[in-house]
Structure 1
Amino acid sequence: MNIKFLGATREVTGSCYLVQINNKNVLLECGMLQGSHEHERHNHDPFPFDVATLDAVIVSHAHLDHTGRLPVLIKEGYHGPIYTHNATVDLCEIMLVDSGYIHEKEARWENKKRERKGLALVEPLYTTTEASTTLQYFQGLTYDEEIDVCPGVKLTLRDAGHIIGSAIIELALSENGISKKVVFSGDLGHKNAPILRDPYQVNYADLVIMESTYGDRLHRSWEDTWQEMGTIIANAKSNKGNILIPAFTVGRTQELLYEFKQHFTAWQLADWQIFLDSPMGIKATGVYAKHHEVYDKQAVAIKQDHQGILDLPNLHMSETTEYSMKINQINSGAIIIAGSGMCTGGRIKHHFKHNIWRENAHVLIVGFQARGTLGRSLVDGCEQINLWGEKIRVKAQIHTIGGFSAHADQQGLLTWYQGFKNKPPVVLVHGEEEAMEILAQKLKYEYKAKVVKASYKQNIVI
């Protein structure tokens, strides 16, 4: 039995790992590469394995860097099961179809330019129809339910606490009388995060495959995070400007709404108009409202008091383009939550065009910004940005709120690993080189762990 590492090796997108056992092939994750245009072009590359040989697919959660190439897999002939949590099935119904729409739109724009130049036309990575077709192969599971995936492979999903439905993947493997347990962390949640429970603690494994996104840093405490956000909102109010929040439509958006409700009075939010300007974010919020069985104790208590955990009296849901355009007529007093979370597309870029050159505007960065993205450029202090061929100066105040993360920080990752009583060997994935190296050294020093930093196409025998 062995595992091939085929994505998210020394980077944070494109998760993909192939488990081979008993002449069977089980794919963990089928993620999309995200970031620069050059990077994303590789999503059109052939899979580094024979799709026809796959027996099962397992995905940890709905984010596109873990699921975004599933429709391509189906296009190329895979017609087997895709196992994941029930809430992830519901989210993928939203996210994959939206992704297909974006690919169609991008292909149309590219082909307009190609037609004028007499170049060959391109096909979208996949269409909305192909994304919808993918959904029929999903098989939803609950946490802690053990199932047989194929001969010698038993699967159990544990709560990862990252976004709703996110899972730690436990694989009980058996071949030629030898049994091994492999635990893949998926994306581990940030302890005490809003709405969801903390990551489940597994106590034994023969091999741990662990993310390392924030392996080089510690998050600010939740108390300091809320205090900072309250201060920013108060300052923006006195400056009579707007607040722009590029937020991942799944997870971060719902956490923001939840905390806005919890701090509604303290942050004087009644004085603002709050806009969720994201059709997909609105739908994802509905999924969060539906799956209350995975809430933490505080969110359960709010739900039991017959309150919606995400509703606000001054929240405006903006679904249409026309509504979104009207928001841009507001020069002061608006809090605008919009995708995309790394500012690579979506409606947030339109709001930047109308606000980011204003000195009284504020931009709240509340999520990880990968290299090559517009969001990363803002975090790094760029003085101007390019939007649709127009250079726009950056005069807005840019705030990076590091504590507001859906990923465990270095201490969270170390604490989770500490829970394994036998201190098994670790393969680090889903992290940039620097973060991965620092976490590897910490694991070696503090726990004497055997650590491998996964390389692309590396094969590890279990």
Structure 2
Amino acid sequence: MSSNEPDFDTLREQIASEIPADLSITRVAYEGPQLVIYTDTPRKFAEADGVIPELASSLRKRITVRPSPGSRTPPADAESHLHDLLPDEAGVSDLEFYPETGEVLIEAEKPGLVIGRRASKLDEITQQIGWTPEVLRTPPMESSTVANVRNFLVQERADRRELLERIGSNIYGPSPADPEWVRITTLGCCREVGRASFILSTPNTRVLIDCGDKPGAEGEVPYLQMPEANPIADLDAVVLTHAHLDHSALLPLLFKYGYDGPIYTTAPTRDLMGLLQLDYLNVAAKQGRTPPYESEMVRETLKHTITVDYGDVTDIAPDIKLTLHNAGHILGSAVCHFHVGSGFHNVVFSGDIHHTDTRLFNGAENDFPRAETLVMESTYGRKGDYQTDQEDSERNLIELISDTYDEGGKVVIPAFAVGRSQEMMLVFEEAMREGRLPTMPVYLDGMIREATAIHTAYPEFLRDGLTDRILHQDDNPFMAEQFQQVDGGEEMRQDIADGEPCIILSTAGMVNGGPILSWLELLGTDPDNALIFVGYQAEGTLGRQIQGGRREISLGDGGRGSDRLQLEFDIESVSGFSGHADRNGLENFVRTMHPQPEEVLCVHGDETATDQFSSALYQKLNCRTYAPKNLETFRLR
């Protein structure tokens, strides 16, 4: 990262000239992309309606006001005031005061009652006690990940503040001239699925987008040794589209190589990223592989993460602004819009998308102020890649499960812990509630329950109707009584295998490790049972081999041993549940995108998918299209 120092004296004078004279400013600082104003008069700031929004509009910055130490009510008295101010029905579960920043963290079951209409309650809190409130939702399902991430960031608050101030200085130093060019370099994910990684660069700035692994291909990692990526320590920013390991697994490696800058993503992606990266290390250790980094690097990754809400325009470099939009793929997944220079060029990275609504998420957004270049996923870009209608898919799945139930068998579904499992849970909960599927236990094995708890911690990122159901109707479908966690290891799995008909959702979704291998061993030799694939199986994975017809397998393929196993149970695949758009969905995303991109780089698909999708877009939309290879650089302007 380059080192610039903003002119804080001039900034302070400008702010003072635009606010009422009775409002004091003791210090101004940038913390990441946010401007922080410290004041001896926090109560007057809270009373001054419209001052902060007008100032934010004038400066084009996100602004936070924090009290200087002498202006705050002592914490013990402030806590008493807060208990009087906040309604019991808000369900306040924790209060934490942070003297270093003048903030009070309020964790509540119903944060809306703490915030108030148009943040009126927050202003009232500051008027009464002088502290700046920060509000978090208490997860309705206990999540060790959410708790650990929050506790870790609390512990690192002082160091993180210094880090954010340094990042802010780099962003808001002297503004460079408009760039003369913009380039994209492909470090992975081209003519293949996996190891997503790209460099977006200008003469002044280098931003890394994603840094993932490649499922089923040990050792195939992004080309971080490329000159365009080095020195890694001098990268200006990293942006993560979503938490799946083919996009996030190797981010901690950057800190091993000396990177010390920010990672921008959404709050749920941050939490899911930490969960999946730690599991990635655990799986590597169990399979006897040397992990590429230590768990300490995962903590560094979390420490350097700056969360951004959908729709917030955020400065991430002196000449680049970032806006994240819902991608409809998994919880917190984002379409990333980069505004380069003063209108010089605009680049959109789709990440992984689902264009239409699903049970879990609203469909991907594709409306932007400007967009000249689109880097577009092509996972299902082949001519014949059309998924079954979701209602038909659900009907087919329910019939298969019902048939197995009638035979006294058990259904095991390999599922990604994030996204696919929660979609399945919603299907089963509704079908059992409506009597379309016999009520039976649904066992969650692996990280599925923990990932589900993270979903319930961020209901505002879910589909509108589901958000309302969880937040306002007190009806959380993920907490239905038929969902049971497998927490007793092999002994419990054996009891389930010997027991009554049931459904088992188990990681890993591509059968490349994890507890799913135990279920193959326990259930695979009984023809009354069934294995149902509901997700994409990448080349080289055991799941792809079984789906393709292989019936004699070695459990060593997943790292368990060398015993061979003959699979006798029914093996089915049900399409329509993918978190990716199919060929129609991909085309519709680009066709209805506003504005239409001038050029499209088709990535994140095998060679056939990217070539066919690129050709189709060129013929139908009359725009320049490319199916790049890894290690190519494109000058956009």
Q: Counterparts of 2:483 and 2:437 in 1: how far apart (Å)? A: 10
Which has the larger displacement, 177-186 or 404-413? 177-186
Would the alpha carbon gap of residues 53 and 340 (structure 1) be closer, same or farther in structure 2, given more than 3 Å must change?
same
Partner of 1:375: 543
Would the alpha carbon gap of residues 178 and 406 (structure 1) be closer, same or farther in structure 2, given more than 3 Å must change?
closer
Is 1:183 aligned with 2:348? yes
Is 1:126 aligned with 2:300? no
Say which SS state the counterpart of residue 40 (structure 1) adopts.
coil
Are the aligned partners of 2:211 and 2:222 in contact in 1 as well (CA < 8 Å)? no
Are the aligned partners of 1:233 and 1:267 in contact in 2 as well (CA < 8 Å)? no
Is 1:42 aligned with 2:220? yes
Identical amino acids, percent of aligned pairs: 29
Which has the larger displacement, 374-383 or 262-271? 262-271
Counterpart amino acid of residue 385 in structure 1: I
Partner of 1:360: 528
Q: Alpha-carbon deviation of 1:327?
A: 4.3
Q: Counterparts of 2:322 and 2:348 in 1: how far apart (Å)? A: 10
1:218-275 deviations in whole A, cap 9, x for unaligned?
1100110111011101110122111010000000111111111111144655542210
Q: Counterparts of 1:322 and 1:391 in 2: how far apart (Å)? A: 19
Partner of 2:626: 452
Would the alpha carbon gap of residues 295 and 329 (structure 1) be closer, same or farther in structure 2, given more than 3 Å must change?
closer
Q: Out of 260, 267, 270, which is 1:89 matched to?
A: 270
Map of 1:254-403 to 2, 5 A cutoff? Answer: 254-266=422-434, 269-278=437-446, 280-303=447-470, 304-322=472-490, 324-327=492-495, 329-330=497-498, 332-387=500-555, 388-403=561-576
Counterpart amino acid of residue 9 in structure 1: C
Is 1:151 aligned with 2:318? yes
Are the aligned partners of 2:432 and 2:439 in contact in 1 as well (CA < 8 Å)? no
Are the aligned partners of 1:17 and 1:29 in contact in 2 as well (CA < 8 Å)? yes
Q: Counterparts of 1:276 and 1:40 in 2: how far apart (Å)? A: 27
Are the aligned partners of 1:8 and 1:429 in contact in 2 as well (CA < 8 Å)? yes
Would the alpha carbon gap of residues 45 and 451 (structure 1) be closer, same or farther in structure 2, given more than 3 Å must change?
closer
Q: Counterparts of 1:269 and 1:422 in 2: how far apart (Å)? A: 44
Is 1:105 aligned with 2:270? no
Are the aligned partners of 1:27 and 1:57 in contact in 2 as well (CA < 8 Å)? yes
Which has the larger displacement, 311-320 or 337-346? 311-320
Partner of 2:580: 407
Q: Counterparts of 2:426 and 2:547 in 1: how far apart (Å)? A: 25
Partner of 2:592: 419
Q: Counterparts of 1:99 and 1:250 in 2: how far apart (Å)? A: 14
1:147-186 deviations in whole A, cap 9, x for unaligned?
1111111000000010010000000011xx6610000101
Q: Counterparts of 1:307 and 1:394 in 2: how far apart (Å)? A: 40
Q: Alpha-carbon deviation of 1:441?
A: 2.1
**TM-score, structure 2 as length reference:** 0.67
Are the aligned partners of 1:103 and 1:125 in contact in 2 as well (CA < 8 Å)? no
Partner of 1:168: 335
Are the aligned partners of 2:486 and 2:493 in contact in 1 as well (CA < 8 Å)? no
Q: Out of 258, 262, 265, which is 1:77 matched to?
A: 258
Q: Counterparts of 1:103 and 1:133 in 2: how far apart (Å)? A: 20
Partner of 1:21: 202
Say which SS state the counterpart of residue 498 (structure 2) adopts.
coil
Q: Counterparts of 2:442 and 2:361 in 1: how far apart (Å)? A: 23
Are the aligned partners of 2:223 and 2:631 in contact in 1 as well (CA < 8 Å)? no
Q: Counterparts of 1:402 and 1:237 in 2: how far apart (Å)? A: 21
Counterpart amino acid of residue 22 in structure 1: P
Say which SS state the counterpart of residue 233 (structure 1) adopts.
helix
Q: Alpha-carbon deviation of 1:429?
A: 0.6
Counterpart amino acid of residue 480 in structure 2: L
Q: Out of 211, 214, 227, which is 2:380 matched to?
A: 214
Which has the larger displacement, 250-259 or 440-449? 440-449
1:101-147 deviations in whole A, cap 9, x for unaligned?
223333xx35xxxxxxxxxxxx4212323322321111111000011
Would the alpha carbon gap of residues 458 and 378 (structure 1) be closer, same or farther in structure 2, given more than 3 Å must change?
same
Are the aligned partners of 2:196 and 2:222 in contact in 1 as well (CA < 8 Å)? no
- Number of residue pairs the alignment of both structures matches: 442
Q: Counterparts of 1:338 and 1:432 in 2: how far apart (Å)? A: 27
Which has the larger displacement, 438-447 or 4-13? 438-447
Are the aligned partners of 1:184 and 1:208 in contact in 2 as well (CA < 8 Å)? yes
Would the alpha carbon gap of residues 185 and 44 (structure 1) be closer, same or farther in structure 2, given more than 3 Å must change?
closer
1:337-371 deviations in whole A, cap 9, x for unaligned?
11001000010011001111221111110111000
Q: Counterparts of 2:240 and 2:492 in 1: how far apart (Å)? A: 33
Q: Counterparts of 2:600 and 2:279 in 1: how far apart (Å)? A: 35
1:69-94 deviations in whole A, cap 9, x for unaligned?
01111111111000001111111121
Kindly report the root-mean-square deviation, in angstroms, between the aligned alpha carbons of the 2 structures: 1.8
Which has the larger displacement, 440-449 or 69-78? 440-449
Q: Counterparts of 2:473 and 2:222 in 1: how far apart (Å)? A: 49
The unaligned stretches of length 5 or more in structure 2 are 1-181, 556-560
Map of 1:218-257 to 2, 5 A cutoff? Answer: 218-257=386-425
Would the alpha carbon gap of residues 318 and 351 (structure 1) be closer, same or farther in structure 2, given more than 3 Å must change?
same
Is 1:430 aligned with 2:598? no
Q: Counterparts of 2:241 and 2:613 in 1: how far apart (Å)? A: 22
Counterpart amino acid of residue 8 in structure 1: C
